[in-house]
Amino acid sequence: MSRSTSRNTNNAGRGKGRGFARAMINLGACALALLAGTPSAFADVLPVGVELPLTGAMARAGTAQLEGIKVAADLFNRSNGKHKIALTVIDDEAQPAKAVSAVEKLASQGVLAITGGYGSNAVSPASEAADKAGLVYITSGAVDSAITSRGLKRFFRVGPASGYSKAVLAQLDAMGVKSVSIVASTKQATTDLSNDVSTKLRAKGVTVTVHAFDPTMTDFKPLVNKIRLQDKPEVMLMIGYENDYIGILRAAKVLKPQLKAVMGTWSLATPKMAAEFPDLVNNVIGCAMLPYPVQFASAEGKAFVDAFVTAYKKEPDYAAEFAFVQSTLLFNAMARAADAGTLKKDGIAAELRAKPQDTLIGKVSFAANGDNPSFVNYVAQIQGERIVIVWPKEHATGKLNYPALPW
The two domains 44-160+296-364 and 163-293+379-395 share their CATH topology (first three levels equal): yes
Q: Where are the domains of the chain?
A: 3-37, 44-160+296-364, 163-293+379-395
Q: What b/e sequence results for 113-144 when a residue is b if at least 16 CB atoms lie within 10 Å of its CB, and e otherwise?
A: bbbbbbbbbbbbebbbbbbebebbbbbbbbbb
Architecture of domain 44-160+296-364: 3-Layer(aba) Sandwich (3.40)
Q: Is the pLDDT of residue 57 over 90?
A: no
* Mean of pLDDT values over 68-89: 97
Do 112 and 334 contact (CB within 8 A), yes or no? yes
CATH, domain range 163-293+379-395 = 3.40.50.2300
Per-residue pLDDT tens digits for 371-385: 999 999 999 999 999
Do 390 and 400 contact (CB within 8 A), yes or no? yes
* Mean of pLDDT values over 71-92: 97
pLDDT value at position 43? 60
Q: Is the pLDDT of residue 281 over 80?
A: yes
CA distances from 264 to 169, 240, 381 (A): 12, 8, 10
pLDDT value at position 23? 42
Do 223 and 183 contact (CB within 8 A), yes or no? yes
* Mean of pLDDT values over 208-231: 97
* Mean of pLDDT values over 193-206: 98
Predicted structure pTM score:
0.81
Per-residue pLDDT tens digits for 103-156: 999 999 999 999 999 999 999 999 999 999 999 999 999 998 889 999 999 999
R_g of the chain, CA atoms, integer Å = 26
What are residue 90's DSSP bridge partners? 51
Transcribe 348-391 into DSSP letters.
HHHHHHHS-EEETTEEE---TTS--TT----EEEEETTEEEEEE
* Mean of pLDDT values over 378-395: 96
Q: Taking all residues of the chain, what is their mean pLDDT, rounded to a whole number?
A: 90
Do 185 and 209 contact (CB within 8 A), yes or no? no
Q: Is the pLDDT of residue 26 over 80?
A: no
